[in-house]
Amino acid sequence: MRLITALENLQRHPVLRKLTLNDVVQYARLVGHLKNDILLPQPLEQTDPGVPPDVLPLSLVEFLSLALSIKQEFIQDSWDIMKYYIWECTTVPLIHEDFELFREFGWSRGIAVLSIYPRESVCATVGCGNTRPLKKETSREVVVYTTANGVQAAWAIHLYCPGKSYPVDLLAQLLNDPQSVKLTITTTLLSMTENAHTTKKSHFTYRLANINSSNRKLSAPG
């Protein structure tokens, strides 16, 4: 029902009416892998993971404009029309074309297919009374080696509770090591291949790069 409503509203828009069903599906597919990145910079009152925020971050606006060939001034209109449909969509595997869009238009804007966030978005410290989503963050560039899609630039995000100076997860503590660290983990991730629709276990090696975390711009993996 959300999709039908979105398509009907797109048809009423003088510019966005040109979007095809494939364009809409690709829009939803890309945003499905960026929800945490969309929520993090939002004000607390718009950080409910079950509700799409009103406004997209500027870097996401630029990325979607270039990736989907929609002028920037119409991205907000497209989001207003499709945000509820897109937000409720199940995250699905990306296809090869999507990876190339991230590589061409996303990396230079600090946008990656993979962003490694802590499991919890609130402080997990025993005895801490803060139940609000964590907003204080630092990020480090990492390189992810995948079996299906080769080397991918990515971000490792660690979140801080207000008033605390330490990260909330073990990965973040490792990232604070000034030396380059190699961490091999086995995890269950959605296989991001065009023909795979099931979750499988894969081995990934995270090479944690010692770089300036304040510069949200990804470099091509070497």
Considering the domain architecture, whether residues 83 and 123 belong to the same structural domain is answered as no
Considering the domain architecture, whether residues 133 and 172 belong to the same structural domain is answered as yes
Asked if residue 162 belongs to a domain, the reply is yes
How far apart, in whole angstroms, are the C-alpha atoms of residue 153 and residue 203? 16
Asked if residue 119 belongs to a domain, the reply is yes
Give the lowest-confidence range in 39-43, 106-110, 162-166, 193-197.
193-197
pLDDT of 135 higher than 80: no
Asked if residue 44 belongs to a domain, the reply is yes
- pLDDT for 159 equals 79
Using alpha carbons, list the distances in angstroms from residue 88 to 1, 91, 113, 118: 11, 9, 19, 22
How far apart, in whole angstroms, are the C-alpha atoms of residue 38 and residue 203? 27
**pLDDT-derived band at 131, boundaries 50, 70, 90:** confident
Domain count for the chain, please give it.
2
**pLDDT-derived band at 174, boundaries 50, 70, 90:** very low
Asked if residue 150 belongs to a domain, the reply is yes
**pLDDT-derived band at 157, boundaries 50, 70, 90:** confident
- pLDDT for 164 equals 59
- pLDDT for 216 equals 57
**pLDDT-derived band at 217, boundaries 50, 70, 90:** low
Considering the domain architecture, whether residues 82 and 139 belong to the same structural domain is answered as no
Domain C-terminal end among 88, 104, 136 = 88
**pLDDT-derived band at 42, boundaries 50, 70, 90:** confident
Considering the domain architecture, whether residues 48 and 134 belong to the same structural domain is answered as no
How far apart, in whole angstroms, are the C-alpha atoms of residue 87 and residue 26? 13
Considering the domain architecture, whether residues 117 and 202 belong to the same structural domain is answered as yes
Chain-wide mean pLDDT for the chain?
75
- pLDDT for 78 equals 97
pLDDT of 219 higher than 60: yes
95-127: pLDDT as tens digits: 989 999 999 999 889 898 888 887 777 777 777
Domain C-terminal end among 27, 54, 88 = 88
Asked if residue 220 belongs to a domain, the reply is no
Which residues are paired to 141 by β-bridges?
155
CB 153 within 8 A of CB 206: no
Considering the domain architecture, whether residues 74 and 127 belong to the same structural domain is answered as no
Considering the domain architecture, whether residues 82 and 120 belong to the same structural domain is answered as no
Considering the domain architecture, whether residues 60 and 148 belong to the same structural domain is answered as no
Asked if residue 101 belongs to a domain, the reply is no
When comparing pLDDT for 218 and 1, which is higher?
1
Cα four-point dihedral sign 58, 218, 120, 132:
negative
Asked if residue 95 belongs to a domain, the reply is no
- pLDDT for 168 equals 46
Considering the domain architecture, whether residues 29 and 69 belong to the same structural domain is answered as yes
Asked if residue 22 belongs to a domain, the reply is yes
**pLDDT-derived band at 27, boundaries 50, 70, 90:** very high
Which residue range is the domain that position 6 belongs to?
2-88
